[in-house]
Structure 1
Amino acid sequence: MKLLYIRALLSAINQSFPPKSKFSVDDIPDLTGKVIIVTGANQGVGKETAKALLQHNAKVYIAARSEERAKEAIKDLKSQTGKEAQFLLLDLADLHSVKRAAEEFTGKETQLHILFNNGGVMIPPMEQVTAQNIDLQFGTNVLGHFYLTKLLLPTLLATAAATPGHPARVVNTSSLVSESVHSINFNTLKDSPARKRAGPNALYGQSKFGNAVFSNELQRRYSAEGIVSVALNPGNLKTELQRHIPGFMRSIINVMLYPVPYGALTQLWAGTTEEGASLGGKYLIPWARVGKSDPAAVDPEVGKALWTWLEEQVAGI
Structure 2
Amino acid sequence: IITSAKPRVFSSGANIKMLATASHAAKVNFCKFTNETRCAMEQATALSGQYYLAVINGSASGGGYALALSCEHIMLVDDGSSRVALPELPLLGVLPATGGLTRLVDKRKIRRDYADIFCTTAEGVGGKRAIEWGLVDELVAPSKMEEASLLRARLLAGTDGRPDRKGITLTPLNRRVSGDQINYGYLAVEINRGKSCAAFTLHGPEERCSVGLEEVLAQGAEFWLLQLARELDDAILHLRTNRPDINCWIFKVVGEREILNSYDSLLVDGVGNWFLEEIRLFWIRVLKRLDVTSRSLMAIVDTGSGFSGILFE
> TM-score normalised by the shorter chain: which range applies?
under 0.3
Q: Would you tell me which structure has more helix in proportion to its own residues?
A: 1
Q: 1 or 2 for the larger relative contact order (CA 8 Å, sep ≥6)? A: 1
Tell me the TM-score normalized by structure 2: 0.27
Structure with the larger strand share: 2
Which is higher, the Rg of structure 1 or of structure 2? 2
- Normalising by structure 1, report the TM-score: 0.27
